[in-house]
Amino acid sequence: MTLRRRLAVLAAALLTAPLLTVIVTASPASAHGWITSPPSRQDQCATGVVANCGSIQYEPQSVEAPKGSRNCSGGSSFTVLDQENKGWRVTNISSSTTFSWRNTAMHRTLNWQYYVDGNLHQTFTNGNAQPPQVVNHNVTGLPSGRHKVLAVWNIYDTPMAFYACVDVNVGGGGGGNPTTPPPTGGCGAAWSASAVYTGGMTVSHKSRKYTARYWTQGEEPGTTGEWGAWQDNGAC
Amino acid sequence: MNLRSLSVVTGRRPTVVAAVAVALAVAVAGLGPAACSGTSPGPGPATVAAQTSAGHDHQHPAGGPVGSGAPGGTIVVHAADELRATLTQLVPKFEEAFPGVRVAVEYGGAAEHAGHILAGAPVDVFVSADAVATGRVTAGHVRGAPAVVARNPIVIAVPPGTGIAGVADLPGTRVALCAETTPCGRMSRTALTAAAVDVRPVSVEPDPATTLARVRTGAADAALVYRTDVVASGTDLRALDFSQALLIADQYTALKVSTGRNTVGADALVAFLGSALARHIFADAGLSPT
């Protein structure tokens, strides 16, 4: 390569450097899914039920790690989720209970596995398809008493999985499913003032559809301004 | 690249040298922080170049926000030094929400920043707790209403298990204060005067960290410092609010500056600084919700 040619290449590289910088920094971070009902440990961090969780509170969807772990953190950096004495709220459920995932990136799915106190209890599949934003699993035959349920969402086309621990008391009174997501109409799930949404999630509110731009809780769609937390996607 | 290789080419290929020079200028503008030198009265050339080079190319990035006029380009922010820790967390979340946007924050003193803006430097957003500087910018150089995004009150720092429940309990206890030559010391005195509480300090320290250390070591029963100082100390000390301090708390105000060129970006960023997410992250640092 001649000196002139080398300089020309350098010039081209320098010219495009700022553009590349913008593109690279703008690439979205990993954003995927977590269990909102019964509230998982990361959900309790996100909604503020449990304080001092660190950064997981703003990205409950990001508990991603290689497949095969049996830890609540999956072996990710969010080790706060592995702490048993953190004051996790225990939800009273019945032996047959719906577990709800809220997904922000619809990865093709190998399966969802539910472990009770470390033992595989139930596996769900969907034909390796991309799941919708909300996925419900009716977990049945749960043993009575206090248990830690580890749910693992194994991704089909990557070596990664998503982990969520739910602390439950089966048959401990109350039962049922305290925070079943509202029914989904043609408009998508209705916005809930108490729920946490992360970037990319959609809701309906007052016959309009909205997409969350970033973590939000308690901010009513339509009130956050043109460039605020909720992007207006029009009537639905 | 070295100077010798450039000078060799200068004689033969001036066009290549010119291209390299332009490339360097653009690269510096796009990559470096917004320049705002202390003596330059005019607009910062780097920020101007960033607007015209990176900005227009990224108004409509693939996969970015839908719709025309979506935020893009570089948003130039001048912010108070004390906000560095929180803005360092917030800016990546904002940039992730608006692909193609880059936020260039310059941290520094409010008075100096205000001086630059009054001299015409292109700044899109100004965030400061300095009421005087904020007032100078607000008088003629803002778009829209100022938005208070965070507050930092003086608090009573106490150890766990203390018998002190509020400001009325301070007389008769050993209190550590910041020196009155510091903002912490001046604000503490003002708050105590407002609360009509007579405190005889057991020690007066040159900075908040040393003041807090008096409580940790047991040399004092309580200390008056900013709430952010308690959080930053990383100790198990508790921060007790009192109403007289909350009333006069430092208010961090975000202004959309009219000298800036990225008006849509400024609108989006100021909305973001007032969002639930920003309130949470400010609160994590001890900056109470507005």
Instruction: Please tell me the predicted confidence (pLDDT) of residue A136.
Output: 95
Q: Which value does ipTM take for this structure? A: 0.72
Q: Do B9 and A4 touch (CB under 8 A)?
A: yes
Contacts of B78 (CB under 8 A, 6+ apart): B34, B36, B105, B106, B108, B113, B116, B117, B123, B125, B126, B127, B128
Let me know if residue B66 belongs to a domain: yes
Let me know if residue B178 belongs to a domain: yes
Let me know if residue B158 belongs to a domain: yes
Let me know if residue B171 belongs to a domain: yes
Of B5 and B289, the structure prediction assigns the larger pLDDT to B289
> Which residue of chain B comes nearest to A232, CA vs CA?
B66
A46 Cα to chain B: minimum distance (Å)? 10
Q: Do A229 and B277 touch (CB under 8 A)?
A: yes
Task: Verify that B35 and B93 share a domain, yes or no.
Answer: yes
Q: Which of B31, B61, B98 is opposite residue A17, by nearest beta carbon?
A: B31
Task: Verify that B31 and B165 share a domain, yes or no.
Answer: no
> Which residue of chain A comes nearest to B103, CA vs CA?
A22
In tens, the pLDDT along A191-229 reads: 999 899 988 889 999 999 999 999 999 999 999 999 999
Let me know if residue B86 belongs to a domain: yes
Task: Verify that B161 and B214 share a domain, yes or no.
Answer: yes
Q: Which of A3, A214, A224 is opposite residue B5, by nearest beta carbon?
A: A3
Domains of chain B: total: 2
pLDDT reading at B79 higher than 90 = yes
Q: Do A229 and B276 touch (CB under 8 A)?
A: yes
Dihedral sign, Cα of residue A114, residue A115, residue A121, residue A123: positive
- Please give the Cα distance from A165 to A70 (Å, whole number): 10
Task: Verify that B113 and B242 share a domain, yes or no.
Answer: no
CATH number where B21 lies: 3.40.190.10
Instruction: Please tell me the predicted confidence (pLDDT) of residue A4.
Output: 56
| DSSP-based three-state secondary structure for B108 | strand
Task: Verify that B107 and B185 share a domain, yes or no.
Answer: no
Q: What mean pLDDT comes out for the span B221-243? A: 94
Let me know if residue B125 belongs to a domain: yes
pLDDT range class, residue A12, cuts 50, 70, 90: low
Let me know if residue B119 belongs to a domain: yes
Q: Which of A4, A15, A199 is opposite residue B16, by nearest beta carbon?
A: A4
Task: Verify that B158 and B241 share a domain, yes or no.
Answer: yes
Domain that holds residue B270: 3-149+252-284
pLDDT range class, residue B152, cuts 50, 70, 90: very high
Q: Chains A and B: how many Cβ contacts under 8 Å?
A: 127
> Which residue of chain A comes nearest to B31, CA vs CA?
A18
Task: Verify that B193 and B280 share a domain, yes or no.
Answer: no
Q: Which of A7, A19, A224 is opposite residue B9, by nearest beta carbon?
A: A7
Let me know if residue B133 belongs to a domain: yes
Average pLDDT, chain A: 85
Task: Verify that B160 and B266 share a domain, yes or no.
Answer: no
Task: Verify that B78 and B158 share a domain, yes or no.
Answer: no
Task: Verify that B26 and B135 share a domain, yes or no.
Answer: yes
The strand pairing partners of B175, in sequence order, are B201, B222
Task: Verify that B267 and B126 share a domain, yes or no.
Answer: yes
Task: Verify that B40 and B159 share a domain, yes or no.
Answer: no
The alpha carbon of A81 is separated from its chain's Cα centroid by a whole number of angstroms, namely 14
Instruction: Please tell me the predicted confidence (pLDDT) of residue B77.
Output: 97
| Mean pLDDT lowest among A140-154, B42-56, B158-172, B245-259 | B42-56
In tens, the pLDDT along B271-282 reads: 999 999 999 999
B140 Cα to chain A: minimum distance (Å)? 24
> Which residue of chain B comes nearest to A227, CA vs CA?
B268
pLDDT reading at A180 higher than 80 = no
